[in-house]
């Protein structure tokens, strides 16, 4: 049983300086969630057995006095926690309803008043990818998806560190990201690095940590990648190695360096999780001719992520691993890719959905804010995910299992169609080596 809010306020002198004249308190029977998490005011709420705050720094003072808050901080969940008001005017469709010990309670039972300490994490403020002024490091952040992610997270209040090979591109990108900032107090930085270089990541993490007031980044998002499609028999093996160096080892090196920092025995154990986000590709779910140099590096990333998502459970620190599977992105990289892409590859993916970097970034962030491990960005990617789950973490056991059964039936029709197009192309054009 938690102490009453009044007792906590009196007992915790560290909390007093945090409470300004605009701090507000609400009793359960009078509470109405009229506030938005973007509010600059500090608000502290009380319920029967739970304390509710909308500032990360306040939570740090409250958790020692309110240990039952800890179960409410799962993957990507912010510090914004509100009580469920059973009044019929209360907003509908809560994302999560829990009782005081963190276990799920059905919405109807909650609305009937069953359970003594029911809380809601409303859609407007639960599962946030970051809280204000967290620091995000993004590799491949000078263009395309990486740059769009940086802009959108800056608009949410994040400090941003961009990483890329080109200093000139980074400087221009940083201007764009800075213009998206939500608050003048946000900070922005760039570090020039080649992710294909062995052992690049440890010095980079050290430099980022030094810039971030000797605090490791809260989120690391690996977006750097390359794609130069070719038919396997016609490519040079150097192409395969280069794709592995950039796409796989670039992310693996960064993952190794940041996890060593986050999971070291001296690293703090905090309620707010750290997040390692890998960017693979829809071709890591199902590939087609032409992606022989590219697809293996992305499939390897999936295997690494599935492994690390389990290994981090062994440590006391709160670290989450996620994987994003974008499809066709209308980025500068896609323009370069189209210049060398085999014709058969273009034919087979002609009907695939195409998205702008902003659309992909927004869909990725939305999936992460939902707490997803396995993030797809469009309907096709989600269908492919359902058909290739294997032993990966499920986003939702029931939905994913039923969806996988459905997709298994869909593949009965889709795969023969794809293979028919490949055979028809061979019949029409002859041996691939006869074409230039």
Residues with a catalytic annotation lie at 294, 298
Give the closest residue to 135 by CA, choosing from 156, 106, 164: 156
- Rounded to the nearest 10 degrees, the angle between the axes of helix 250-262 and helix 201-211 is 50
User: In 10 A of CB 371, how many CB atoms?
Assistant: 18
Kindly give, in sequence order, each residue whose CB lies less than 8 Å from that of residue 336, ignoring residues fewer than 6 positions away.
228
Q: What letter would DSSP give residue 300?
A: H
Q: At which residue do the structure tokens 């500032």 appear? A: 55
Q: Give dist(CA 182, CA 155) in Å, integer.
A: 5
Sign of CA dihedral 353, 358, 361, 363: negative
Q: Give dist(CA 403, CA 389) in Å, integer.
A: 10
Q: Give dist(CA 386, CA 277) in Å, integer.
A: 20
Confirm if 155 and 180 have CB atoms less than 8 A apart.
yes
Q: Return the C-alpha torsion angle 26, 32, 38, 44, nearest 10.
A: 10
Rg of the chain over Cα atoms, rounded to whole angstroms, equals: 24
| Contacts of 24-32 spanning 24+ positions with Cβ under 8 A | 28/83, 28/85, 31/82, 31/83, 31/85, 32/85, 32/89
104, β-bridge pairs: 98
Confirm if 302 and 252 have CB atoms less than 8 A apart.
no
Burial 141-172 (b: 16+ CB within 10 A, else e): bbbbbbbbbbbbbbebbbbbbbbbeeeebbee
Judging by beta carbons within 10 Å of its beta carbon (0-12, 13-18, 19+), is residue 65 exposed, middle or buried? middle
Q: Give dist(CA 326, CA 283) in Å, integer.
A: 9
CA distances from 122 to 28, 68, 94, 100 (A): 16, 19, 5, 16
SS3 71: helix
């Amino acid at each position: 049983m938690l102490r009453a809010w009044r007792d906590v306020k009196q007992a915790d002198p560290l909390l007093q300086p945090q409470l300004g004249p605009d701090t507000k308190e609400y009793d359960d029977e009078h509470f109405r969630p009229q506030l938005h998490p973007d509010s600059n005011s500090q608000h502290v709420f009380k319920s029967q057995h739970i304390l509710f705050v909308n500032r990360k720094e306040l939570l740090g003072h409250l958790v020692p006095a309110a240990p039952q808050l800890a179960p409410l901080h799962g993957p990507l969940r912010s510090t914004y926690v509100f009580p469920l008001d059973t009044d019929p005017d209360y907003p509908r469709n809560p994302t999560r309803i829990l009782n005081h010990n963190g276990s799920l309670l059905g919405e109807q039972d909650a609305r009937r008043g069953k359970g003594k300490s029911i809380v809601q994490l409303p859609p407007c403020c639960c599962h946030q990818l970051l809280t204000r002024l967290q620091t995000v490091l993004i590799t491949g952040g000078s263009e395309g998806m990486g740059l769009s992610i940086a802009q959108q997270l800056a608009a949410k209040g994040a400090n941003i560190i961009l990483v890329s090979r080109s200093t000139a591109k980074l400087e221009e990108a940083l201007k764009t990201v800075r213009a998206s900032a939500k608050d003048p107090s946000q900070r922005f930085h760039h570090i020039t690095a080649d992710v294909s270089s062995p052992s690049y990541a440890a010095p980079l993490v050290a430099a980022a940590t030094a810039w971030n007031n000797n605090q490791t980044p809260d989120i690391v998002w690996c977006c750097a990648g390359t794609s130069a499609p070719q038919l396997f028999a016609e490519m040079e093996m150097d192409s395969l190695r280069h794709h592995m160096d950039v796409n796989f080892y670039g992310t693996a090196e960064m993952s190794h360096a940041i996890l060593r920092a986050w999971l070291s025995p001296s690293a703090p154990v905090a309620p707010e999780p750290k997040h390692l986000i890998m960017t693979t590709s829809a071709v890591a779910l199902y590939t087609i001719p032409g992606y022989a140099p590219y697809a293996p590096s992305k499939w390897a990333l999936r295997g690494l992520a599935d492994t690390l998502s389990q290994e981090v459970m062994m440590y006391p620190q709160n670290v989450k691993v996620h994987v994003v599977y974008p499809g066709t992105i209308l980025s500068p990289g896609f323009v370069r890719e189209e210049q060398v892409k085999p014709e058969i590859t273009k034919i087979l993916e002609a009907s695939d959905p195409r998205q702008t970097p902003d659309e992909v970034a927004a869909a990725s962030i939305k999936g992460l804010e939902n707490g997803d491990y396995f993030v797809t960005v469009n309907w096709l990617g989600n269908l492919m995910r359902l058909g290739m789950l294997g032993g990966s973490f499920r986003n939702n056991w029931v939905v994913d299992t039923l969806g996988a059964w459905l997709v298994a039936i869909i593949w009965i029709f889709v795969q023969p169609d794809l293979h028919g197009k490949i055979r028809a192309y061979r019949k029409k054009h002859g041996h691939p080596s006869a074409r230039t």
